[in-house]
A = this chain, B = another copy of it.
Amino acid sequence: MATYKDLRARTGLSLATISKYYNGGNVLEENRVAIERAALGLGYRVNGFARSLRTKKSRTIGVLLPKLDNEFHLTVIAGAEAALRLHGISVLVCAGSDTPGAAVEFLLSKMVDGIIAVPTEHDRDALQTAVSRGVPLVLVDRLLDGLASDAVVLDNELAARQAVEHLAAAGHIRIAALVGDQKSWTMRKRRSGFLAAMSHAGLAAHPNEVIAGPLTVAAGRAEVNRLLVAPSRPSAVVCFNYELTVGALIAINEHGIAVPEELSVVGFDSVELAQVTRPRLSMITQPTAQIAAQAAALIYARLSVDPSPRMHTVVTLASEFVPGGSVGPPGE
């Protein structure tokens, strides 16, 4: 594999000049073409290791995700990768693992220049130390208590409001909600947003129809199950997370409940599902591509400038309500 020395042999230039060329410095036109021709002839490519060794920059950012089984997270990778590749920056993917902090450690050991994370509680300490080491960090989807950082999140209150208002407009009075794991910042926001929207709409939220629980398909299914077998049931349900939505749909199918005649349903993040359910699912969606792009932009900004910022930017993006056929007037 060719090196600067080979280029020097072909061009008669010094290493310093060649380096300058490869780093956007000013070089005589004449020399530029000489270098370019030599490089082409030799099939030369700069050696990232040597460069990184010297500059202490890897031009790589790590993306940390809790699990790799989630369309939303997928889109974050995709968007970030695309945006950063334009700057010649690559993306190291790491899915959270068993041992807390291991994933972050792994990324750091690979010398990533920054981290984009959809964090879990497990990662808090490791991320904290990363930040204190001066590694730029951008949180996505959720904030972590006690961890100051740049972030890009959904306007979860807005999301809740959109769902409630849509249902209220259709005449629903008694609206249930699957609000998931209340240890999660995001789910807390959605829950409080839901409650706020309800009272703002002049509706009462039945405490035991605002159901917290794990963010799993099984939990969503069980919870909706419980709603459906109760002697009296709500006329609508909002599922505040993808897994919960899937679980809810399964339970509804199992009970043979007619949507929206017997029960109106609003889902979350279910772009793909929405189109194949009959009727189409009304849902709240996140601008995933935008989120990823923003995250990439934020981290890129941190990379190029102000290394140890005293101010953090939290970008809040609006959710969008996509009406389908799963919301109708309340039954009977």
Query: A interface vs B, CB < 8 Å?
Result: 45, 47-50, 52-53, 58, 60, 67-69, 71, 74-75, 77-78, 81-82, 85, 90-95, 97, 106, 108-111, 217, 246, 249-250, 253, 272-273, 275-278, 280
Contacts and interface: CB of A to CB of B under 8 A. Distances in A.
B58 A68 contact: no
Copies in the complex: 2
A78 B73 CA distance: 12
A78 B68 contact: yes
Contacts of A273: 272-273, 276
Contacts of A74: 68-69, 71, 74
B111 A82 contact: no
Contact of A81 (B95, B108, B217, B272): B95
B275 A45 contact: no
A49 B81 contact: no
Contact of A109 (B48, B92, B110, B275): B48
Nearest to A68: B78
Contacts of A45: 108-109
A90 B94 contact: yes
A249 B276 CA distance: 6
B276 A246 contact: yes
Nearest to A102: B85
Contacts of A275: 217, 246, 249-250
A75 B91 CA distance: 17
Contacts of A69: 74-75, 78
Contacts of A47: 53, 111
A91 B85 CA distance: 15
A101 to B, nearest CB: 14
Nearest to A65: B78
Contacts of A77: 68, 77, 93
